[in-house]
Amino acid sequence: MTQAPAEGPDSESAVEAGGYRQELKRTLGSFQVFAISFAFISVAVGIFATFDEVLVTAGPVGIWLWLVAAVGQSLVALVVAQFAARIPLSGSSYQWASRLGDPKVGWWFGWLTFCYLAIAVVAIDNALASQAFMPLAGIAADEDTARVITLVVLLVQAVPAIASKRLVG
> Is residue 97 situated within a structural domain?
no
pLDDT at residue 157, as a whole number: 87
As a whole number of angstroms, the distance between CA 4 and CA 15 comes to 11
* CA 43 to chain centroid: 11
Q: Within 10 Å of residue 35's Cβ, how many Cβ atoms?
A: 14
> Is residue 68 situated within a structural domain?
yes
Q: Are residues 15 and 55 in the same domain?
A: yes
> Is residue 94 situated within a structural domain?
no
As a whole number of angstroms, the distance between CA 131 and CA 122 comes to 14
Three-state DSSP at 89 gives coil
Q: Are 132 and 48 in contact (CB under 8 A)?
A: yes
In this model, does residue 20 exceed pLDDT 90? no
> Is residue 95 situated within a structural domain?
no
Q: Are 126 and 48 in contact (CB under 8 A)?
A: no
As a whole number of angstroms, the distance between CA 113 and CA 34 comes to 19
* CA 134 to chain centroid: 25
- Mean pLDDT of the 131-148 span: 92
* CA 120 to chain centroid: 9
pLDDT of 39-94, one tens digit each? 665 555 566 666 677 778 888 887 788 788 788 878 888 887 787 777 666 666 77
Q: Are residues 79 and 114 in the same domain?
A: no
CA distances from 167 to 124, 153, 161 (A): 27, 22, 10
Q: Are residues 161 and 84 in the same domain?
A: no
Q: Are residues 149 and 76 in the same domain?
A: no
Q: Are residues 111 and 164 in the same domain?
A: yes
Q: Within 10 Å of residue 149's Cβ, how many Cβ atoms?
A: 20
> Is residue 120 situated within a structural domain?
yes
Q: Are residues 39 and 115 in the same domain?
A: no
> Is residue 96 situated within a structural domain?
no
Give the structural domain span for 22: 1-89
Number of domains in the chain: 2
Q: Are residues 69 and 146 in the same domain?
A: no
> Is residue 160 situated within a structural domain?
yes
Q: Are residues 126 and 65 in the same domain?
A: no
Question: Percent of the chain scored above 70 by pLDDT?
Answer: 66
Q: Are residues 83 and 115 in the same domain?
A: no
